[in-house]
Amino acid sequence: GAVVSQHPSRVICKSGTSVKIECRSLDFQATTMFWYRQFPKKSLMLMATSNEGSKATYEQGVEKDKFLINHASLTLSTLTVTSAHPEDSSFYICSARDIRAGTGRNNEQFFGPGTRLTVL
């Protein structure tokens, strides 16, 4: 259990285009999902916290108009990189928090496999 998927696993796009990345919790519900980006040999950096049914909370320095987050259901959050530029090329990872009490994994974040974005 506690599987999180991401789609696509990798994407190559032209500069100026928009790219949507999906994050799904497959076997549990997640009112909160998190979006991270990771540069080579660097730690994961939290970009934003996605809350189901409300606006996402962005970390300082992350442009909310550039990185659009939608969390329309308890199992799906999307990150849209708008007008992508080469400097947006990175590894994007989502995680989902299982909030169900009594599962033994209350509040634990489960990570997706990541999406490699390359902007040409």
Partner 1 sequence: KNQVEQSPQSLIILEGKNCTLQCNYTVSPFSNLRWYKQDTGRGPVSLTIMTFSENTKSNGRYTATLDADTKQSSLHITASQLSDSASYICVVSDGNNRLAFGKGNQVVVIP
Return the number of the residue (80 or 91) whose C-beta is nearest partner 1.
91
Contact 17, 1 (CB under 8 A): no
Question: 36 pairs with which residues across the strands?
Answer: 46, 93
Residue 64 has, within 13 A of its CA and on its CB side, a CA count of: 10
Amino acid identity of residue 79, one-letter, is L
Q: Which is nearer to partner 1, 44 or 62 (CB)?
A: 44
Out of 13, 68, 70, 91, the only residue in the binding site for partner 1 (CB under 8 A) is 91
Does residue 69 interact with partner 1 by CB under 8 A?
no
If one asks whether residue 42 binds partner 1 (CB under 8 A), the answer comes out as yes
Spatial separation of the C-alpha atoms in residues 109 and 35, rounded to whole Å: 11
Using CB under 8 A, pick the residue from 1, 14, 41, 60 that binds partner 1. 41
* 27 is a site residue for partner 1 (CB under 8 A): no
